[in-house]
Amino acid sequence: MNKKILIDLIGLLLIALIGVVGYKLSPLLLPKSDVTVTPDAQCNLQQNPCAVGLPGGGELQLAFGTLPVPLVQAFPVSVRVQGEAAQQVEIDFSGVDMNMGFNRQRLAAQGEGMFAGEATLPVCVTGRMVWQATVLLERGRARIAVPFRFVTGEAH
């Protein structure tokens, strides 16, 4: 009977360990944000940079270095943050109508509020596709999410 209790106890400990590890790793897959800021829906990232005002003042601007945005090819991404300094900036690309998997890049600080890096959009359809590029900004003690939408595979 003692051996069965020991095996049950080990099983419970393994389940608890898996729960703790899952809880600790969940921010990597489902980032938490304290504030979500919605940009102007009229801005078209396929034609020009888009900017949005930030809570507490300042502005965030997202720009793609290659227009129109290519599929399955690296393209430059830059984020400019004015106002309160940002400690970290990441950009997460996701298909609005189709799950395209985990596609997040941490942008490197360039100084004076600039962050830059490269991203690649995967492809599984050759036609029109709506994407969401969510900029995740750590600023002070808050994490701000700014979801920008854009379309690939159509005339601009």
Please give the residue that has the higher pLDDT: either 3 or 147: 147
My answer on whether 8 and 58 are in the same domain is no
- pLDDT (0 to 100) of residue 32: 58
For residues 45 and 150, the answer to whether their CB atoms sit within 8 Å is: yes
Is the same domain home to 39 and 24? no
Phi, psi at residue 151, to the nearest 5°?
A: -120, 135
If asked whether residues 16 and 45 sit together in one domain, one would say: no
Domain count, the chain: 2
Q: Note whether 23 and 39 are same-domain residues.
A: no
pTM of the model: 0.76
What is the pLDDT at residue 126?
Answer: 66
Query: Residue 106 sits in which domain range?
Result: 35-152
